[in-house]
Structure 1
Amino acid sequence: MRLLLSSLALLASVSASLAAPAHHCAADAVKQGEALLKFHSGNDERAKVDPDSVKQIGTVKALVGNGRFDVLEVEGWIYKGDYRMRLIYAQMPGECALMGQEIFERSNPY
């Protein structure tokens, strides 16, 4: 039993150390996501973004040239509506150049 518990503890510590570090634009993504949500809602003050929801979901090819952009996703809400926002950043070390954004309401219109 002790061996099992120590193995589980070791596995948990290894998993935590392997977690991807936060993207350097994560804080900017929260700020930009909230601004996008407020713009989308006519500046409704109830628009909020969950700062713990930021995750990098991949990259996309730049429309011009050979570069790639990082795609960060954040979750937010306005009153009873839930939203997913994707913010597209240029891959520039130390800078957060926002190149695009999209917003989707999490609902079933059918």
Structure 2
Amino acid sequence: MKITATIVPFLLFTLSFPSLAAERKSDLTCKAQALSEAKKLLAFYRDNDDRADIDHNVTPLAKIQNPENKSHYFDVLQVWGTIYKGKYRMRFIFLNDCTLMGEEILEYANP
């Protein structure tokens, strides 16, 4: 009886927080597009600085749910870039067919 009393609250807790479920990793099928978009985004962000360099390691992050259609998920790929001493993290959001849906860039700095 004690086991049941312990398991039931645990199951209710787990079911009430779906975000605790295992995250699905993004696919690397859009790796080439992510690298191409990273080069364009960094050039745009820093006015075509010729010191811009893109790291060719693409990291797949957890998929994100489409806010318009909860049954669809987007792939999120992360690419790092540098310009001189500046370090930039770029994330790209793709549909399954590698259509770019969103992008973000963040400069890592220690002011």
TM-score (norm 2): 0.70
Which is greater in Rg?
2
Partner of 1:108: 110
- Which residue identity is paired with 2:59? K
The aligned residue for residue 61 of structure 1 is: 65
Identical pairs, percent:
42
For 1:103, give the aligned amino acid. Answer: I
1:97 Cα deviation (Å)? 0.6
The gaps in structure 2 that reach 5 residues or longer are: 1-24
How many residues were matched structurally? 85
The AA in structure 2 aligned to 1:58 is: A
> 2:82 maps to which residue?
77
- Alignment partner of 1:50 out of 33, 52, 55: 55
Counterpart pick for 1:39 among 35, 38, 44: 44
Alpha-carbon distance in structure 1 between the residues aligned to 2:93 and 2:77: 6
Displacement, 1:63?
2.6
Q: Over residues 35-65 of structure 1, what are the superposed CA-to-partner deviations in whole Å (9 max), with x where a residue is unaligned?
A: 10111001112212111x2010111111311
Structure 1 unaligned blocks of 5 or more: 1-19
